[in-house]
Structure 1
Amino acid sequence: MYVQRFGEQLIRGAATERPRGPEYVSRFERWDDLASVRRRPRRRFAAGEPDLYFPPELYPVALHPLVAARGSAAVKGLLLQRLYDYLEFTTELESLAVIPVATKISRGRSGLDLPGRMRSDAYKIVTDEAWHAQFSHEFAGEIEAETRVPWLRARDRTPPAFLSRLDEVRGRLPHRMRGVEGLLFAIVSETLISGMLSQIPRDGRLPQSVRNVIRDHAEDEGRHHVYFRSVLGHLWPALTRAERQAVGPLVPAVVYAFLEPDYAQTARHLGELGLTGEQIDQVVTESWPAHQVRGDVAAAASQLTRYLTEADALADARTLAAFEEAGLLGPGHQERGGAAKEFAG
């Protein structure tokens, strides 16, 4: 089993037989001076800070009348649970999705013929992401100790929604291509998360320590964004036409796996507030109407969709149709090079 794992690749086949991507320009020359693991102190949760722990606008269930009717303490408690969820999501995302892929890249097991500097930089990403997972986990524990509001322990938690969603994508891939969904998800999450993190550090209503933790994360992810955009530029040209046709229509599902809300986890929190099953369904449905979720996902993914277009990932008709069906192509989207396009989500 261990010998098998040593040789496993994200994309099967001889990497050197695949076309090589464009020239790689590293953003990690000053990593020792800039990476939060090298220059930032571990942030500590401080007592006496504001008790609004997460922007309610980014968690609309907290603004629903049925939740507001429970009182301000219940709303603030729900937002604290959302912060716990965010910190735990960060730990799980880095540990289960990004670090394994970056490790494969660093060890030459991506299945792509990547420049040596690109592999070396992947080691730095592994270090960054392990630090993000660690400080998120430890920070959540400090909040729990200070606030005395319980944080669900590992034995009580359900897997984050992105895992089951990725399993579904993997099940739809030809057997010989299973593994590429992990590489795609790393590209999606690492190019989108920096935008998601940009708002919270500027929100003066939140505790300064919370803002600092998320700012440290965001600064590192800016470099990771550029790196994984480069990975996409190497990935798509390296795929055969048949591989592109198999993978392309599933990219939108990978985008939604990352961006769509975790409804089950939210339902659990609402149940802990005392809402009935019918009320929970109402709050979730009215807080995240389907058309709003589609619009939010499309807006959040617009830059990634542009990257995919530039990589000619939308040149296949079935892929283009999948992007359109998922609502990921805005009205101003135009075809490049006279070819049809494909979407991701």
Structure 2
Amino acid sequence: MYVQQFEEHLLRGTATERSRGPAYISRFERWDDLASVRRRPRRHFAAAGLELYFPPELYPVVLHPLVAAKGSAVVKGLLLQRLYDYLEFTTELETLAVIPVATKISRGRSGLFLPGRMMSDAYKIVTDESWHAQFSHEFTCEIETETGVPWSLRGTSAPPAFLLRLDEIRGRLPRDLRGVEGLLFGIVSETLISGMLSEIPRDDRLPLSVRNVIRDHAEDEGRHHVYFRSLLAHLWPALGRVEREVVGPLIPEIVYAFLEPDYAQTAHHLRDIGLTGEQIDQVITESWPAGRVRSSVAAAAAQLTRYLREVGALADQGTLAAFEEAGLVGPVYDTPGLISTKVAE
């Protein structure tokens, strides 16, 4: 098992026989001066009594009449649980998805022919992501101690939704391509998360300590965004025509695996506040209508979609059709049955 893990590459085949990507320009020259693990203090939770724990607009179930009718204390409690979910998602994402990929890259086992500096920089990403996972977990524990309210999902065996979605995608790949979904999910998550983190630190309704934790994370992820954009520029030319035709149409599903809400997690919290199964279905369906989810995902993924177009991924008709069907290119559906003129590119 351990020798197999040592030898296994994310992309099978001989790296030196694959096409090489463009020249690599590092964004980590001043990593010692800029990385949060090097220069930022350990953040400690502190909150005033009237502050929100998470922006309600980013968790629309709390705005639903069936939830709002439960009272402001229930709404505030759900927003606290959403903050816990966010912090634990960060820990799981880093440890289970990003660090394994960055580690393979750093050790020359990505399956790609990468510049030496690019492999060295991957070590710094591993260090950054380990710190993000650590401070997110420790911050969660501090909030639980300070508020006396535990994370309601602690101790459950339910994996985060993105892992279940990735397993399903991996299961549909030919055996000789399994592993490439990890590279693609790393590219998707690391180029999209910096945008997801950009707004929350500016929301002064939230505790300053929460905003500082997310700001520290966001600053590091800005460098990671540039790195993984470069990784995409190395990955796509390295894939053969048949590999591209297989992998390309699955990219929209990988985007949704990362960006789509975790409905099961939300259902758990709504059950905890006393909603019935029928009410839970109503709240989730009406809070996240399919058309709105599609338009939100398309908007969040627009920059990544442009990167994919630049490397030629959308030149394949099967891939382009999958992106169109997922609403990632072409008209964006703002509400079911209503087509907006906004273009998701």
Q: TM-score, normalised by structure 2?
A: 0.95
- Aligned counterparts of 1:281 and 1:153: Cα–Cα separation in 2: 19
Matches within 5 A, 1:1-345: 1-48=1-48, 50-152=50-152, 154-331=154-331
* Shift of residue 119, structure 1, vs aligned partner: 0.2
- Aligned counterparts of 1:214 and 1:98: Cα–Cα separation in 2: 18
* Shift of residue 50, structure 1, vs aligned partner: 4.3
1:117-167 CA-to-partner distances (Å, cap 9, x unmatched) read: 000000000000000000000000000000001114653241000000001
- Aligned counterparts of 1:145 and 1:61: Cα–Cα separation in 2: 26
1:189-227 CA-to-partner distances (Å, cap 9, x unmatched) read: 000000000010000000000000000000000000000
* Shift of residue 265, structure 1, vs aligned partner: 0.3
- Aligned counterparts of 2:55 and 2:20: Cα–Cα separation in 1: 43
Q: Is the 8 A contact 1:32 1:38 kept in 2?
A: yes
Q: Is the 8 A contact 2:24 2:115 kept in 1?
A: yes
Q: Which amino acid counterpart does residue 179 of structure 2 have in structure 1?
A: G
Q: What is the SS of the residue equivalent to 2:155?
A: helix
- Aligned counterparts of 2:318 and 2:297: Cα–Cα separation in 1: 20
Q: Is the 8 A contact 1:104 1:110 kept in 2?
A: yes
Q: Is the 8 A contact 2:192 2:225 kept in 1?
A: yes
Runs (4+) of structure 1 exceeding 2 A deviation are 47-51, 152-155
Q: Which amino acid counterpart does residue 193 of structure 2 have in structure 1?
A: I
- Aligned counterparts of 1:172 and 1:305: Cα–Cα separation in 2: 23
Q: Is the 8 A contact 2:47 2:208 kept in 1?
A: no
- Aligned counterparts of 1:157 and 1:175: Cα–Cα separation in 2: 28
1:279-335 CA-to-partner distances (Å, cap 9, x unmatched) read: 100000000000000000000000000000000001111111111110100349xxx
Q: Is the 8 A contact 1:298 1:330 kept in 2?
A: no
Q: What is the SS of the residue equivalent to 1:156?
A: coil
Q: Is the 8 A contact 2:259 2:297 kept in 1?
A: yes
CA 1:204–1:188 in 2, change beyond 3 Å: closer, same or farther?
same
CA RMSD of aligned residues (A): 1.2
1:66-122 CA-to-partner distances (Å, cap 9, x unmatched) read: 100000000000000000000000000000000000000000000000000000000
CA 1:270–1:153 in 2, change beyond 3 Å: closer, same or farther?
closer
Q: What is the SS of the residue equivalent to 1:244?
A: helix
- Aligned counterparts of 2:152 and 2:74: Cα–Cα separation in 1: 17
- Aligned counterparts of 2:78 and 2:65: Cα–Cα separation in 1: 14
Report the equivalent of 2:339.
none
Q: Is the 8 A contact 1:9 1:109 kept in 2?
A: yes
Q: Which amino acid counterpart does residue 160 of structure 1 have in structure 2?
A: P
The alignment of Structure 1 onto Structure 2 pairs a total of residues equal to 333
* Shift of residue 5, structure 1, vs aligned partner: 1.1
* Shift of residue 22, structure 1, vs aligned partner: 0.2
Q: Is the 8 A contact 2:161 2:262 kept in 1?
A: yes
- Aligned counterparts of 1:54 and 1:131: Cα–Cα separation in 2: 22
* Shift of residue 257, structure 1, vs aligned partner: 0.1
CA 1:135–1:273 in 2, change beyond 3 Å: closer, same or farther?
same
- Aligned counterparts of 2:241 and 2:49: Cα–Cα separation in 1: 55
* Shift of residue 47, structure 1, vs aligned partner: 4.6
- Aligned counterparts of 1:214 and 1:18: Cα–Cα separation in 2: 38
Q: Which amino acid counterpart does residue 9 of structure 2 have in structure 1?
A: Q
1:213-245 CA-to-partner distances (Å, cap 9, x unmatched) read: 000000000000000000000000000000000
What percent of counterpart residues are identical? 80
Q: Is the 8 A contact 1:64 1:287 kept in 2?
A: yes
